[in-house]
Amino acid sequence: MTDPVQLTADLIRCPSVTPDEGGALVLLEKFLSEAGFDCTRVDRGGIANLFARWGQKGHARSFGFNGHTDVVPVGDEAAWTVAPFGAEIRDGVMYGRGATDMKSGVAAFAAAAVEFVRDTPPDGAIILTITGDEEGDALDGTTALLDFMEQEGERMSACLVGEPTCPNRMGDMIKIGRRGSMTAWFTVTGVQGHSAYPHRAKNPLPVMARLMDRLASHKLDHGTDHFDASTLAVVTMDTGNPATNVIPAQCTSAVNIRFNDSHTGASLSDWLLSEAAQVADEFGVQVDTRIKISGESFLTPPGALSDLVARAVQAETGIQPELSTTGGTSDARFVKNHCPVVEFGLVGRTMHQVDECVEVAQIHQLKNIYARILRDYFA
């Protein structure tokens, strides 16, 4: 049997903080190559990525797994009660950065795939796409792997992303879509002056306050069939002005929007620019806007793929999983342009936290779920 717990520990001990590879993909390439997978490093822009395939290239039945080995920084190491990259096990729980998000998920699907092709070689292909840039800008990670696949004629018929998806209990949630995400930065430029003579200045602060109030007070929508209502959060406002007798010349702010399938990044960008222009005209100042769209909303409608995963989850956990689109973004937002995609993984309560950890039993359980998915898909 291929031990996913040992593989998880080996991966945690690789300090692969984005964008450092840290030895994690080197380890996986060796593990998969020895099991008969054809492996290719698809590095781009200083980011390490790994493509691995067992079976015939371009086969009509090609099941894919996607995941990442990069992790967020440990933060204040003194706050940890264990070594962040030690993979220490205490009372059936493994600790370490990436234990939940998501080296255990990668270990589980890699171990399941290796055992499956060894014991019951399928009529088809299994493809693993593993990136080192999910926690970063995600410009040269899964997108680079998908570009490589397009160029080389590689194809997944369906894909499962192994991100932690369960909020409370193992098996309670599958992600069938994600909200879109975008951030807008605003700079209001006025005229600096003495606070005792405000008529001689153009104060950017009331302008920014008006703009932020307009944006935050606006109801974007009431939700759709598979999505909650879209949200806009004001995440910063700043002048950098320590003096109380000076009206500053500039004020900056930013908002983050998580949006459902009733919007696109372009339509929301148009709205933000229109609101900024109206406030600028009202006050007679300059408002500059910069927008970054991190991902569009998407949905894999409930059907064959979500049913396949849900049956395996229920068989191994006894829980009927909820089909959800909640949470942040993931690399599924890129995979959805290639093939149908859903996400299923561990309980994610400790991801990105100090003393991030995973129950050892859950790693075995996740491997069994992934193995059952493969058996059922190729049955």
Rounded CA separation 50/141 (Å): 9
Q: How far is CA 128 from CA 10, 155, 174, 176, 355, in A?
A: 18, 11, 19, 19, 28
Instruction: Dig out the tokens for 66 from the structure.
Output: 């996607």
**Catalytic residue selected from 134, 261, 275, 296:** 134
Rounded CA separation 118/126 (Å): 12
Active site residue 34: no
Q: Where are the beta strands (DSSP E) in the chain?
A: 38-41, 49-54, 62-68, 89-90, 93-95, 125-131, 158-161, 173-175, 177-178, 180-189, 193-194, 231-238, 246-247, 250-259, 286-295, 298-299, 322-324, 341-343, 357-359
**Catalytic residue selected from 21, 70, 275, 296:** 70
Instruction: Dig out the tokens for 63 from the structure.
Output: 């099941």
Q: How far is CA 13 from CA 20, 31, 69, 71, in A?
A: 13, 16, 11, 12
Rounded CA separation 254/235 (Å): 6
Q: C-alpha 249: how far from its chain's center? A: 38
Active site residue 163: no
Q: Known catalytic residues?
A: 70, 134
